[in-house]
Structure 1
């Protein structure tokens, strides 16, 4: 993850909207997704967001905008899923990114740049789908602040699990229920044991929650039986997206012991449509720190480079939009607060010989910061519903999510002397439970 000409904030884009204040999709970003024109039955195809437009890569390739490895990459990236493009590896990813940057650079004046502009489609006119075929989905639990907040809400209160500070803990989720922003999330049913009841009941979830996370998309796999060393871990990650791990807290409380979440987590996960590449995020890596009085990682999870550059400075927000009303911001935090880095997650995931595959999704776990307003879930903000959160410009409050509520995750990177790099948004809306 080294800096090059694509990170130069002084370079100007031929798409004027890429310079609008607060624009997520700047020339220095160029995130990948899959789309089609809204209201049509045309095939989905790969694209790159720029300003308020998306570049149709299949059309740009057909117009002869690329050559060499960039052309091969554009052909693969124009397909209905990005998996074949990812399988080409980092050299191809970078070749296409560099080619797109040059064609969009207002100062380069490559004649093929005019042809590329013919392949633009307004973002307002498209719909997205999940950009990769996800074979497996693993969700981690790597925020010490989230873990400590959750422990305090238990009855009786509990401290950290003994393994939390020694390894990045995770569980295997359901890839079949991962959807893209705009997902309609049906309130799930599950077994719930009401306090003082002798037996559980099958009920609709009454304590529906969100979890603010980031998702890492695997771009290169590893052979089964071969661990990925920490020094090579980030070579296996294509990029990051926003991820909402919807959670049925009352179902989770009853079913957690002894094997962890099941129905409480498998009904829906919502990701943002655009994958921001690690190359675009290179200017925003930052030092990862472990308090000196805490247990330090075992050797396979430790390196000087991980200490120096293992964290990402990504600002994150959660908004709640009740049906028919304006949205309220619930919390704001930063990805740099995680107790374990993404590289450590990849390495630990594979240390036993697990074979990651192209397109796999890795969730970071809830991202909560050190202060109460930085909590990444409603159960933390509302103290398990005991202290409901007031919504801005409204007389409403929320202990847990209600039917009709939309949860919106937003994320971006900003720093002095750098162009903004944003993730767009992940939005999902709660639908009533179906009758059994």
Structure 2
């Protein structure tokens, strides 16, 4: 179950990298997330620290690591983190501890360790790994029920007894900054009754949270018990599951297809479950009028610490600077990450290494926690107004939508995930 607090979480620990000590940085020394970057010298793995990247290959070349930490660093320095996800959790923890000691203020190796740093602004972030599969869940009760109240389809009873999901398109998962090309598809224009092929008229975002899986977790036909599901979670990222609502609403018979498959954006850094240990909170639990958890989705450890206190915000920039339009929290979700893993495997489907799962829209009870435009606008009936006077029902070409996340806990240093950003560009109408 959840990882115990250790020296890497010490709120008093500071880095000799000054930017890592700023109160608003996503990447203090308590975080140390893994990612893949290219600074013009080839793609390779690194670790974020303040406004710098620790080049793991350079750290190894300088002889600054030994033992298991050096072995895992060599794996983490490759152009994909897929092999790192398979590394034993204890060895990954040893690498984080070694890097934490190497880059703290009192390390005594500042010159040699500092030489392995490069400015993050000088590098291009790449996909951490190529996910074999992507599953997008729908785990917010507030999102499901609000959509129904606003005139959507009545929810099926299953939403309250299992974490609903669909198998997404792994090939269209892309890293933050990838252009969001407005998709073409079959839609029914307002006031019409016949579908036409046209650019998506109702392009939306969804503020989501994701997890990269460590695997292989289970062979075909086997399951992953809830008390073991936490072991399959390597680390987390931010997710924007862009949604073509016109296409989606017309095609939804078996489930979402082209309305969801054109692009999913993720943040490039993978924040380990170890780094997130101080931010664990109890799972949401169930009220008296909600179905009790079935035994396979219930475990004391998950009830006590299955949730995460991660605040998510969305900022929309229509050309005059970003404005916050969403503020919500992962802790409000109806289902935990571990429950998603266990349910996905409960029918015997194998979970593979580097699989990506996402929570679905992380909407909460408050108005500001409506985490997509169909919620914010009441299915288009109430446009939102931005500080510059611009109004939006759905996203327009040229708009930029950014998602940010902060893990929060009293007496601990908050950590972040980096940005998850995309800009809308016009449809390519040559279909």
Structure 2 length-normalised TM? 0.97
Is the counterpart of residue 24 in structure 1 residue 26 in structure 2? yes
Identify the residue that residue 145 of structure 2 maps to in structure 1: 148
- Matched with 2:213 is 218
1:294 is aligned to 2:290: yes
Alignment partners' CA distance in 2, 1:78 and 1:198: 55
Match of 2:78 in 1: 79
Residues in 1 aligned to 2:386 and 2:88: alpha-carbon distance in whole angstroms = 45
Name the structure 2 match of 1:315: 311
Q: Deviations over 1:395-432 (max 9, x none)?
A: 21110000000110000112221011111110001000
- Corresponding residue for residue 93 of structure 1: 92
Distance in 1, Cα, partners of 2:102 & 2:191 = 66
SS in 2 for 1:145: helix
Indicate the RMSD between aligned Cα atoms, in angstroms: 1.2
Is the CA contact (8 Å cut-off) linking 2:312 and 2:330 kept in structure 1? Answer: yes
After superposition, residues 82-121 of structure 1 pair within 5 angstroms as 82-109=81-108, 111=109, 113-121=110-118
2:323 maps to which of 322, 328, 334: 328
Aligned counterpart for 1:407 among listed residues 394, 397, 401: 401
**Cα deviation code 1:306-357 (max 9, x no counterpart):** 111010000110000113x211111101000000110000000001111111
The alignment partner of 2:260 has SS state of coil
Matched residue, 1:388: 383
Asked whether the equivalents of residues 184 and 429 of structure 2 are also in contact (C-alpha less than 8 Å), the reply is no
Structure 2 Cα separation of the partners of residues 316 and 406 of structure 1: 17
* Aligned match for 1:426, one of 406, 417, 420: 420
Residue among 327, 338, 345 paired with 2:333 = 338
Please list the CA deviations of residues 114-134 of structure 1 after superposition, one character each: whole Å capped at 9, or x if unmatched: 322111011111110111121
Report how many aligned residue pairs link the two structures: 426
Q: CA deviation at 1:36?
A: 1.2
SS in 2 for 1:279: coil
For residue 181 of structure 1, what is the aligned residue in structure 2?
176
Q: State the 1:144 CA deviation.
A: 0.5
Give 3-state SS (helix, strand or coil) of 1:232's partner.
helix
Change (3 A) 1:12 1:247: same
Q: Give distance in 1, aligned partners of 2:73 and 2:393.
A: 47
Distance 1:175 1:160 in 2: 26
Structure 1 match to 2:357:
362
Q: Deviations over 1:193-220 (max 9, x none)?
A: 2355342111110000000001100122
2: CA distance, partners of 1:190 / 1:81: 33
Deviations 1:34-59 (A, max 9, x none): 1012xx3x311101000110001111
Aligned residues of 1:220 and 1:235 also touching (Cα < 8 A)? no
- Once the 2 structures are TM-superposed, how far is the Cα of residue 89 of structure 1 from its aligned partner? 2.3
Gaps of 5+ in 1: none
CA distance in 2 between partners of 1:352 and 1:4 (Å):
36
In structure 1, what is the Cα distance between the partners aligned to 2:193 and 2:215?
Answer: 50
Structure-2 separation of matches of 1:30 and 1:123: 14
Alignment-derived partner of residue 42 in structure 2: 43
Deviation, structure 1 residue 14: 1.4
* Residue matched to 1:247: 243
Q: Which runs of 4+ in 1 moved over 6 A?
A: none
The residue that corresponds to 1:34 in the other structure is 36
Kept in 2, the 8 Å contact 1:89–1:220? The answer is: no
Q: 1:64 maps to what in 2?
A: 63
